[in-house]
């Protein structure tokens, strides 16, 4: 049971990574514009903000990124890079963020936008998407909106998970 | 330059950026060229597909309930429309049967085993969709074990919606027609103009809008003209409906015609799809 608790965050993040695709499929018809369903990144960044010294989160982020890239895109380098990089960044700035929910939620939304910018940069660089200015701003607007909505809806659950079931905590963290 | 090499942080960042770019370059090119994913990737994809099946079950119940209410509300008007269609159906079926038999006899006489219009259909369901902002990719529950191959055309709701870009054992990825991926394969299409001549071109997409491009005499196509695949290129068969002409304009240079297409297929929320397997010509 204790072992399951140590891995619970990873299991939930994997389920959320799968759920993101299912939600995208079911909710796409009723969503406005190009909305992303980056729930996995929101989870990783929130866990990183509450568990800033846990570097196990970095390899977990890398593994999830690799799986998401393979399953949803067919090539690697988008989530595989963005997930661990933004998790690392969140851990580094966590000590400067006040211990209140709102500032942490703002950081999560900013990370969500950074992932959008990185994705746009990669797709534009490799000619994999439309690089028009209007498309960029439209995507940025819908990403900001979806980032805020998903963060508000799921933040409390991720916080509980980080506080009660940290991912593979070290012995020092347990005592 | 000397300072640059002395600063370890800058060198580390530089090396990381180069590594990321190399990884992306190799990976993107590999996806375009290889016929199937690597073994490890296949295992990962199959595991995620099983998870998707399990998670979709409760989600489909909720979604299905909402759709049922909508369907009941639409039932009366749909029923009236279908009654009108039924009257002409018997005549169409009889004519179709006679044309099919005539076609088979003519092919036999010409010793043709298959033509551009011959194909098999593989039905499947959509199990997931890429959650990324710019990616128009669906994941379906049919793979190489069902006969699905890379580049096959995929239909839903009466028209073509995209093509297969990657195949695993039990799943496959479908890139939608609306993708703005400039490296994606395009469908070669044709339409009959007002002067009864065939107009040929390819289907492209900008900001989610389909257009019939690389076309001459496009102004001869009237609004409402149906656009079909031409079978050129060797991947998709001839005669699959893409959509109808909705508007004809000139491009920004005023040189070629840009024909906007209203897609016939269900591009917004396809739940059931049909993969079209073209018969190989002898």
Reported as a single tens digit per residue, the pLDDT across B172-202 is 999 998 887 777 778 888 888 777 678 888 8
Contact B131 A134 (CB under 8 A): no
pLDDT tens profile B37-52: 888 888 999 999 999 9
* Beta-ladder partners of B77: none
Cα separation, B129 vs A25, in Å, equals 5
Cα separation, B25 vs A153, in Å, equals 36
CB B243 within 8 A of CB B264: yes
Contacts of A72 in chain B (CB under 8 A): 128, 130-132, 135, 137, 139
pLDDT > 50? residue A23: yes
Mean pLDDT for A22-26 is 87
Measured on CA atoms in the order B167, B261, A37, B155, is the torsion positive or negative? negative
Domains of chain A, residue spans: 2-168
Contact A129 B134 (CB under 8 A): yes
**pLDDT bucket at A154, cuts 50 / 70 / 90:** very high
- Of B25 and A29, which is predicted with more confidence? B25
CA A92 to chain B, closest CA, distance in angstroms equals: 16
Mean pLDDT for A19-24 is 90
Q: Measured between CB atoms, does A155 come within 8 Å of chain B?
A: no
Cα separation, B159 vs B265, in Å, equals 4
Measured on CA atoms in the order A63, A65, A66, A67, is the torsion positive or negative? positive
At residue A175, the pLDDT reads: 52
Mean pLDDT of chain B: 83
Q: Which of A37-41, A154-158, B77-81, B120-124 has the highest mean pLDDT?
A: A154-158
ipTM of the complex: 0.85
- Of B73 and B14, which is predicted with more confidence? B14
pLDDT tens profile B81-113: 888 788 778 888 888 888 888 888 887 787 766
pLDDT > 60? residue A33: no
**Kind and range of the H or E element at A121?**
helix A101-125
Contact A21 B139 (CB under 8 A): yes
Q: Measured between CB atoms, does B252 come within 8 Å of chain A?
A: no
How many beta carbons lie within 10 A of that of residue B107, not counting itself?
14
CA separation (Å) from A25 to B67, B157, B218, B254?
A: 14, 16, 35, 39
The answer for A131, left when phi > 0, alpha when psi is -120 to 50, beta otherwise, is: alpha
**pLDDT bucket at B77, cuts 50 / 70 / 90:** confident
CA A85 to chain B, closest CA, distance in angstroms equals: 11
Question: Least CA distance to A82: which residue of chain B?
Answer: B20
How much of chain B is in helix, strand and coil states, percent to nearest 5?
40, 30, 30
Contacts of B183 in chain A (CB under 8 A): 126-128
CA B184 to chain A, closest CA, distance in angstroms equals: 8
**pLDDT bucket at B76, cuts 50 / 70 / 90:** confident
Contacts of B27 in chain A (CB under 8 A): 75-77
CA B100 to chain A, closest CA, distance in angstroms equals: 38
Cα separation, A167 vs A61, in Å, equals 11
pLDDT > 60? residue A37: yes
| Phi, psi values for residue B240, rounded to 5° | -85, 130
Three-state SS for B256?
Answer: coil
At residue A158, the pLDDT reads: 95
Helix axes B39-109, A56-68, angle to 10 degrees: 0
Q: Measured between CB atoms, does A76 come within 8 Å of chain B?
A: yes
- Of A90 and B117, which is predicted with more confidence? A90
Contacts of B138 in chain A (CB under 8 A): 25
Contacts of A129 in chain B (CB under 8 A): 134, 179-182
Mean pLDDT of chain A: 88
Contact A24 B131 (CB under 8 A): yes
Q: Measured between CB atoms, does A137 come within 8 Å of chain B?
A: no
At residue B223, the pLDDT reads: 86
pLDDT > 70? residue A171: no
CA B251 to chain A, closest CA, distance in angstroms equals: 16
Cα separation, B43 vs B168, in Å, equals 9
Contact B180 A130 (CB under 8 A): yes
At residue B139, the pLDDT reads: 93
CA B236 to chain A, closest CA, distance in angstroms equals: 22
DSSP, residue by residue, B31-82? HHH-SS--HHHHHHHHHHHHHHHHHHHHHHHHHHHHHHHHHHHHHHHHHHHH
At residue B273, the pLDDT reads: 92
At residue A57, the pLDDT reads: 94
**pLDDT bucket at A19, cuts 50 / 70 / 90:** very high
Q: Measured between CB atoms, does A70 come within 8 Å of chain B?
A: yes
At residue B105, the pLDDT reads: 84
CA separation (Å) from B237 to A104, A124, B276, B278?
A: 54, 32, 8, 6
CA atoms within 13 A on the CB side of B125: 10
pLDDT tens profile B112-123: 666 667 788 899
pLDDT tens profile B139-178: 999 999 999 999 899 999 888 999 999 999 999 999 998 8
Q: Measured between CB atoms, does B44 come within 8 Å of chain A?
A: yes
Question: Least CA distance to B50: which residue of chain A?
Answer: A18
Determine the distance from the C-alpha atom of residue A7 to the mean position of all C-alpha atoms in its chain, rounded to a whole number.
18
pLDDT tens profile B207-226: 778 888 877 776 678 888 88
Contacts of A75 in chain B (CB under 8 A): 24, 27-28, 30-31
At residue B218, the pLDDT reads: 67
Nearest-CB residue to B130 (from A24, A39, A125): A24
User: Taking Cα atoms as reference points, which of A103, A106, A62 lies closest to residue A85?
Assistant: A62
How many beta carbons lie within 10 A of that of residue A23, not counting itself?
20
Which among B132, B164, B179 is the top mutation candidate for probing chain A, defined by the most A β-carbons within 10 Å of its own β-carbon?
B132
CB A79 within 8 A of CB A68: yes
Which among A72, A83, A84 is the top mutation candidate for probing chain B, defined by the most B β-carbons within 10 Å of its own β-carbon?
A72
pLDDT > 80? residue B257: no
**Kind and range of the H or E element at B175?**
strand B172-176
**pLDDT bucket at B282, cuts 50 / 70 / 90:** very low
Contacts of A67 in chain B (CB under 8 A): 44, 48
CA angle B66, B72, B77 (to 5 degrees): 135
């Amino acid at each position: 049971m204790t072992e399951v608790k140590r891995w619970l965050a990873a299991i939930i993040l994997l389920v959320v990574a799968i759920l993101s695709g299912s939600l995208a499929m079911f909710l796409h018809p009723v969503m406005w514009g190009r909305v992303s369903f980056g729930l996995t990144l929101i989870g990783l960044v929130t866990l990183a903000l509450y568990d800033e010294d846990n570097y196990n989160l970095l390899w977990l982020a890398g593994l999830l990124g690799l799986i998401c890239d393979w399953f949803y895109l067919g090539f690697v380098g988008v989530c595989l890079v963005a997930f661990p990089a933004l998790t690392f960044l969140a851990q580094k700035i966590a000590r400067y963020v006040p211990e209140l929910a709102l500032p942490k939620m703002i950081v999560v939304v900013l990370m969500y936008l950074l992932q959008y910018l990185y994705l746009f940069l990669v797709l534009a660089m490799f000619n994999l998407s439309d690089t028009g200015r209007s498309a960029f701003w439209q995507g940025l607007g819908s990403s900001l909106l979806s980032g805020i909505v998903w963060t508000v809806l799921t933040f409390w659950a991720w916080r509980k998970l980080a506080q009660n079931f940290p991912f593979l905590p070290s012995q020092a963290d347990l005592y | 330059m000397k300072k640059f090499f002395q600063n370890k942080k800058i060198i580390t960042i530089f090396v990381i950026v180069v590594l990321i770019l190399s990884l992306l370059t190799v990976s993107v090119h590999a996806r375009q060229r290889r016929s199937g994913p690597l073994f490890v990737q296949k295992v990962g994809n199959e595991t995620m597909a099983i998870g998707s099946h399990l998670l979709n079950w409760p989600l489909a119940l909720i979604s299905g309930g909402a759709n049922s209410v909508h369907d009941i509300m639409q039932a009366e008007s749909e029923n009236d429309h279908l009654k009108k269609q039924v009257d002409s159906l018997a005549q169409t079926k009889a004519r179709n049967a006679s044309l099919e038999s005539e076609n088979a006899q003519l092919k036999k006489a010409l010793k043709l085993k298959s033509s551009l219009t011959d194909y098999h259909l593989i039905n499947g369901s959509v199990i997931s969709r890429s959650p990324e902002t710019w990616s128009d990719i669906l994941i379906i529950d049919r793979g190489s074990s069902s006969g699905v191959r890379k580049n096959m055309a995929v239909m839903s709701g009466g028209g073509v919606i995209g093509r297969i870009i990657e195949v695993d054992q039990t799943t496959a990825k479908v890139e939608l027609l609306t993708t703005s991926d400039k490296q994606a394969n395009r469908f070669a299409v044709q339409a009959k103009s007002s002067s009864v001549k065939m107009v040929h071109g390819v289907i492209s997409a900008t900001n989610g809008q389909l257009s019939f491009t690389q076309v001459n005499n496009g102004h001869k196509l009237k609004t409402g003209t149906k656009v079909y695949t031409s079978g050129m290129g060797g991947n998709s068969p001839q005669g699959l409906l893409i959509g109808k002409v909705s508007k004809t304009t000139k491009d920004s240079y005023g040189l070629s015609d840009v024909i906007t297409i209203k897609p016939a297929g269900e591009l917004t929320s396809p739940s059931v799809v049909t993969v079209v397997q073209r018969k190989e010509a002898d």
